[in-house]
Amino acid sequence: VTKETELEPSAENLAEGLDAHVDKITVSVTGVEDKINSDNIKAHVNLEGLGEGTHSVPVEIEGDAVSINRTYHTNVTITPNR
């Protein structure tokens, strides 16, 4: 079965002293119906080397018994940690 689900990617490798706001994404997922949910499917973005500003970054998505058939990107806004 193929369903759409909304994910909130986590931020990884953010430089010290910075905060990141990562936009949610809606992805089309194929797999076992009861596995297509945000508890099973995890998304994250690698922010290594990125500084302040708004960036479009690829989202890495993984989950058991599901497949994602395309690459997704999301916007990340990085600001100084206050």
What would the pLDDT profile of 22-72 be if each residue is shown by its tens digit? 999 999 999 999 999 889 999 999 999 999 999 999 999 999 999 998 999
CB atoms within 10 A of CB 25: 18
Distance separating alpha carbons of residues 31 and 47, to the nearest angstrom: 29
The model carries a pTM of 0.88
Burial classification of residue 71, based on how many CB atoms lie within 10 Å of its CB (0-12 exposed, 13-18 middle, 19 or more buried) = exposed
Give the per-residue pLDDT at 82. Answer: 77
Q: Helix, strand, coil % (nearest 5) of the chain?
A: 5, 60, 40
CB atoms within 10 A of CB 45: 25
